[in-house]
Amino acid sequence: MIYKKICSVVNPESDQAKDISRKISDQFSQCSWQIVDNFDFSNISAMDLVVAIGGDGTLLRAVSLSIKYDVPVLGINMGNVGFMTEIEGDNAILELEHYLENSVRVEERSLLEVDFQKDNKNLSYKALNDIVLARGSSVSMIETITEIDGIHLATYRGDGIVLSTSTGSTGYSLALGGPVIDPKSNDYYIKPIATHMSQFGGVIVSSDSSCEITVSSRKDAQISIDGFIEHELSSGDKIMVKISDTKAKFLRKNPPNHYWSTITEKLGIRKGNFSK
């Protein structure tokens, strides 16, 4: 597919990202460009591709836009690591033409869907990375009573829990000692944060299963969806989580197995190629 209607989502705190965005739109002026450098998507019109220019945080916001239009995302990394981005910023001008005008692979990634009530309103969000239930400003522990398909799994007492997709397994979940999950997997991972069960490795939940979490806290608590959507929670609030029917889509040049060499390099595990 040749992409002609493009929306650039730019990290508003990066002058370098803004500069790259301007250069790209000038270089590929045959395309129709919409540029968003404030994360305000209220006046966006239809597109066939979203280009995220920044780090993984910018890409997560770009995904929230792309799934509304069912279009892929191409990530240009202007940050330090960029687990989910495809092109390094210095190479953007040279490499972008290949993605816009050639047949490249569209890779699908699972999303978590979360539903809960707040102020008598039903709220629903989708997360590419993770959903975090955590204590708020208080030092008091919270309890997260966790059920899978109606069966009690555990009552975690501590700072909270993380529910992570396979994509998000390289984020907060990994920092808590969780595994890196193959990005083709539709399963999700539940890991407690700083609890008396911290040595418990957590659980990987089948994509067919739903999870219900009841918050119990004497003080404030909160839910964070992909790190940029947050709501306060009250004791007794229930959160429903499952794998969404909607998929996030990304443009990829390399085959799926390239993921493992990329991820180990970015994690500093792979130092070079060795042969027998």
For 238-270, how does the pLDDT look when each residue is reduced to its tens digit (9 = 90+)? 999 999 999 999 999 988 887 887 777 777 766
Q: How many CB atoms lie within 10 A of CB 200?
A: 12
Statement: residue 275 has pLDDT above 50: no
pLDDT value at position 240?
A: 98
Q: How far apart are CA 179 and CA 189, in angstroms?
A: 9
Query: Which structure tokens are listed for 261?
Result: 């060499």
Statement: residue 192 has pLDDT above 50: yes
Statement: residue 57 has pLDDT above 70: yes
pLDDT digits (tens, 9 = 90+) for 122-168: 999 999 999 999 987 777 889 999 999 999 999 999 999 999 999 99
- For 54, left (φ over 0), alpha (ψ -120 to 50), or beta? left
Domain borders along the chain are 5-103, 111-246
pLDDT value at position 235?
A: 93
Please give the C-alpha separations between residue 11 and each of 68, 114, 134, in angstroms, as whole numbers.
Answer: 20, 26, 26
- SS3 of 45-92: the string is CCCCEEEEEECHHHHHHHHHHHHHHCCCEEEEECCCCCCCCCEEHHHH
Q: Which CATH number fits domain 111-246: 2.60.200.30, 2.40.10.10, 1.10.357.10, 3.30.1330.100?
A: 2.60.200.30
Please give the C-alpha separations between residue 241 and each of 133, 147, 212, 214, 236, in angstroms, as whole numbers.
Answer: 12, 10, 6, 11, 16
18 and 116 Cβ atoms separated by less than 8 Å = no
**Coil, strand or helix: which one is 147?**
strand
The CATH number of 5-103 is 3.40.50.10330
Which residue in the list 19, 26, 37, 56 is annotated as catalytic? Answer: 56
Q: At what angle do helices 15-27 and 92-101 cross, to 10 degrees?
A: 50
Statement: residue 274 has pLDDT above 60: no
- Active site annotation includes 90: no
pLDDT value at position 186?
A: 97
pLDDT value at position 218?
A: 81
pLDDT value at position 17?
A: 95
pLDDT digits (tens, 9 = 90+) for 43-54: 999 999 999 999
pLDDT value at position 273?
A: 53
Statement: residue 200 has pLDDT above 70: no
Which residue type sits at 63? V
pTM of the predicted protein model: 0.91
Q: How far apart are CA 89 and CA 161, in angstroms?
A: 34
Statement: residue 67 has pLDDT above 70: yes
pLDDT value at position 276?
A: 41
**Angle at Cα 19 formed by Cα 14 and Cα 24, nearest 5°?**
125
Q: What is the mean pLDDT of residues 51-69?
A: 96
Please give the C-alpha separations between residue 100 and each of 36, 48, 52, 109, 151, in angstroms, as whole numbers.
Answer: 19, 11, 14, 21, 48
Structure-derived torsion over alpha carbons of residues 243, 249, 252, 256, reported in degrees to the nearest 10: 20
pLDDT value at position 80?
A: 74
